[in-house]
Amino acid sequence: MSYLVIDFHVHPKRSSKLIINEILEEMDISGVSHSVLLGKDFGGSIKRPEIKNWIKDAFLKSDVASHYWPNGVSSRSFSQLEEAWRELEYYLKERASSSPTSLKELAEIVNTHPDKFTGFGSINVLQDEEYVTEKLRELNTLQLKGLKIWPFLFNPSENENLRMVCEDFEKRRKILLVHTGCGPGPWEIPELAKYCNPKYLEPLAKDFNDLPIVLAHSGYYSRDNPGIFFKDALELSRKHENVWLEVSAVPDVVTDPILADKVKDAIGGFDRVLFGSDYLEYMQITVHVIKKARHLKDEDKAKILGLNAKQLLGL
C-alpha cells in the first residue's frame, strides 16, 4: 500500500548550515512528499535574574551525578558544583542561542519550494512585548503557518507574550508546536526540563480551544527516562480535542503495541497523531517502522503518516 507521508518536524539547519538539498533528497528516498520546517529563535534570556535563579537552583539541587556530570559528583565539593553551574550557564548563554533560523530565512525556503515545505517560525517569547508583537506581525506577513516553542526556561501558561500569540493564532487558524519531554545536553536533567511537561499547557489548551496545540515528541522523549511525561501528554490530549500528539524521535509511541493502545484509548483512535522525524537521519527508518507496525490498521497508518497532517495543515 502506498501512503501520503508528511513530516511534521524537520530542522532546516545542521549546526549553522542550511541543509535544504539534503532534506529534499532524504524526503525523496523516504517517500515524504511534504515537511514542516521549523525556525529557531533562542537566546539572551538566561541573563534575566528570575530565570537564571530558578535554573541555577534546580540545577544545584538536581541529581546531576547521573546526568550532566558524567563522572559523578558524590566526591566533589560544592565549589566544583558551582563550577559545573558556570559551565551550564555558559552553555545556555552561548551555545543554546547559536545558529538561529529567522522568520525571513524560513519564509524564503518555503517560498522557493511551496509544494514541499510549510514553515513554522520561532519567536523567543521571553523577549519583551514589543519584540514579540513585531515578530508576530512579521510571521503573519510572511504567511508562516505556525510557531514552534521550546518551554525549557519558562512556564508556558504563565507567559503573557505566548498568550498573545495564542489569541492571534486561534483567530487566524494557525498552529502551536511545543517541545515536550527532555532535550539535548543539560535539558536531560528532569528538574531543568520540568516546564516541558505537557501539563503546563493545560490552561492554554482550555482557554484557546480552537487553537491546535501539537505536542512534539508526545511528552515521551528522554535519553535516560524515556516516557518521562507521556502520561501527562495522554491526559491532556484525552481532555482537550485541540491537543495533538507528534511522534518525532519517539516512534515507539505508535510502533510499540502497548504504547499505541494507550494513545488509542486516550484520543479514541489515531485521528490526532502526527508523524515527524526531527533528525534527518531518522526520517527513512521512522516511516519504515510505522508502515511495518503489525498492530496498526492500514487506515491508522495512513492517518498517522500523512492524512492527519494534511487535514491539520489544510493542504
How near is the Cβ of 278 to Zn ion at its closest, in Å? Answer: 4
Nearer to Zn ion, 37 or 126 (CB): 37
Among residues 247, 292, 243, 289, the alpha carbon closest in space to that of 266 is found at 243
How near is the Cβ of 167 to Zn ion at its closest, in Å? Answer: 25
The β-bridge relationship of strands 17-18 and 34-38 is unpaired
Backbone angles phi, psi at 154, to 5 degrees: -150, 155
How near is the Cβ of 179 to Zn ion at its closest, in Å? Answer: 7
Beta-strand ranges (E) seen in 143-223 are: 146-149, 175-179, 213-216
Considering CB under 5 A, how many residues would be counted as binding Zn ion?
1
C-alpha 292/C-alpha 286 separation (Å) is 10
Nearer to Zn ion, 26 or 300 (CB): 26
Nearer to Zn ion, 54 or 282 (CB): 282
Nearer to Zn ion, 6 or 302 (CB): 6
C-alpha 288/C-alpha 293 separation (Å) is 9
Residue nearest to Zn ion (CB): 278
How near is the Cβ of 181 to Zn ion at its closest, in Å? Answer: 10
Site track 1-30 with Zn ion (rule: CB under 5 A), x = hit = ------------------------------
Residue 41 engages Zn ion in binding (rule: CB under 5 A): no
Site track 261-280 with Zn ion (rule: CB under 5 A), x = hit = -----------------x--
First to last CA, the chain: 21
C-alpha 297/C-alpha 303 separation (Å) is 10
Question: From the CB of residue 191, how many other CB atoms can be counted at a distance below 10 Å?
Answer: 16
Nearer to Zn ion, 26 or 278 (CB): 278
Point out which residues bind Zn ion (CB under 5 A). 278
